[in-house]
Amino acid sequence: MNELIEAVPFLGKRNPRLAKWLIIILALVAPLIAAYFGRSWMRILDFALLYMMLALGLNLVVGFAGLLDLGYIAFYAVGAYTWAFLASPHFGVHMPFWIVLPLGAAFAALAGIILGFPVLRLRGDYLAIVTLGFGEIVRIFMNNLNHPVNITNGPQGINALDSLNLFGWNLAQSLSFGDFKIHYLYLYYYFFLLCVIGSIVFIKRLQISRVGRAWAAMRDDELAAKAIGINVRNMKLLAFSLGATFGGVAGGLFGSFQGFVSPESFSLMESIAVLTMVVFGGMGNIAGAIVGALALTALPEILRNIALPVQEALFGTVILDPEVLRMLLLSLAMILMMLLRPAGLVPAHARYSRPELLKGGA
């Protein structure tokens, strides 16, 4: 939270309390503002929260533990497909969310460990290549496991996934109190918001603990980390599996929200997009992951809404498709970012201790 507060431009340092309330209020009213611009914006906002969870989880692996993972989306896929298998007409199984979500997280964590073991000795570029391969393998499996036995329904994907049902309260149905109606997108927004807050709390606790310090030590100097008694193997596996857990939960939520999963949602580009969010926001700090996810989910959509009318007004026709423009501008943004703020929008000054625990200390 403190990192987020400091990340607020201008106010963050001058008036942290005001900044804090600003963030809280913004988080609460964001869907109302989005609704003013249309339903699609509310949907985008919901996705932004999912991406935040992903970015937070990946940041744990890349930013804290220093393990470059280019196949992170695979864990998202594992979570989403777990939901699809256990809560959809595909197999005719309809389990409640409190079984499916933890199971998805557990499967993702298991996948994280399976990925973790062979790459224990790898670092940097080599690690990136293997994880990239892992991500692709998972996607290709999903794509082809429809023959001879149909498990994943192949490229067509699985649809009509169960929506989130919180103990009998279906989030996909709008609430209505007489004339007053609350659209289901709001419900999802607040539920996802809770999940994101929960993730932040958990990650913050991990960060300021012996585990967080061990990860940071490993990231900064693996040899020295070993020499002070850190079991690097276990810590790496822990980072992979915990990071994957967040991906798995986000994946399950994605499945329930979207109601449809197919392998193309889990392409390499998605992995890179999430990594870009982490790097763009600032590696190794929670605020960075959040700001990065928000910025990189919203910007392309804003662009889409601006690019078309502007081009039509200027040239009379649409010359550049927004999709093309999006990749172009995203790359440009990344290049500028690396030149001007290489440490990201919110440069990391993540802390791994609580100095206030010192009685009368400096």
* Residues in contact with another protein by the rule CB under 8 A: 202, 205-206, 208-211, 213-214, 216-217, 219-221, 223-232, 238, 242, 284, 348, 350-355, 357-359, 361-362
Q: Cα separation of 125 and 128, whole Å? A: 5
Phi/psi at 84 (5° precision): -65, -35
Kind plus residue range of the DSSP H or E element containing 182: strand 180-182
C-alpha dihedral over 111, 114, 118, 122, to 10 degrees?
A: 40
- Minimum CB separation of residue 243 from another protein in Å reads 13
- Minimum CB separation of residue 233 from another protein in Å reads 9
Q: Which is nearer to another protein, 88 or 241 (by Cβ)?
A: 241
Q: Three-state SS across 146-164?
A: CCCCCCCCHHHCEECCCCC
Q: Which is nearer to another protein, 71 or 284 (by Cβ)?
A: 284
Q: Which is nearer to another protein, 176 or 231 (by Cβ)?
A: 231
Q: Which is nearer to another protein, 179 or 356 (by Cβ)?
A: 356
- Minimum CB separation of residue 26 from another protein in Å reads 27
Determine contact, residues 345/288, Cβ cutoff 8 Å. yes
- Minimum CB separation of residue 126 from another protein in Å reads 21
- Minimum CB separation of residue 24 from another protein in Å reads 22
- What residue type is assigned to position 181 of the chain? K
- Minimum CB separation of residue 3 from another protein in Å reads 14
For 45, the token pair is 């906002």
Q: Which is nearer to another protein, 127 or 350 (by Cβ)?
A: 350
Q: Which is nearer to another protein, 9 or 361 (by Cβ)?
A: 361
C-alpha dihedral over 304, 36, 191, 48, to 10 degrees?
A: 20
- Minimum CB separation of residue 234 from another protein in Å reads 9
Determine contact, residues 70/291, Cβ cutoff 8 Å. no
Determine contact, residues 39/321, Cβ cutoff 8 Å. no
Determine contact, residues 325/307, Cβ cutoff 8 Å. yes
- Minimum CB separation of residue 20 from another protein in Å reads 21
Q: Which is nearer to another protein, 263 or 344 (by Cβ)?
A: 344
Give exposure, 127-146, as e/b (b: 16+ Cβ within 10 Å): bbebbbebbbebbeebbebe
Determine contact, residues 155/260, Cβ cutoff 8 Å. no
Q: Which is nearer to another protein, 314 or 362 (by Cβ)?
A: 362
For 204, the token pair is 């913050």
Kind plus residue range of the DSSP H or E element containing 209: none
Give exposure, 24-60, as e/b (b: 16+ Cβ within 10 Å): eeebeebbeebbeeeeebbbbbbbbbbbbbbbbbbbb
- Minimum CB separation of residue 360 from another protein in Å reads 10
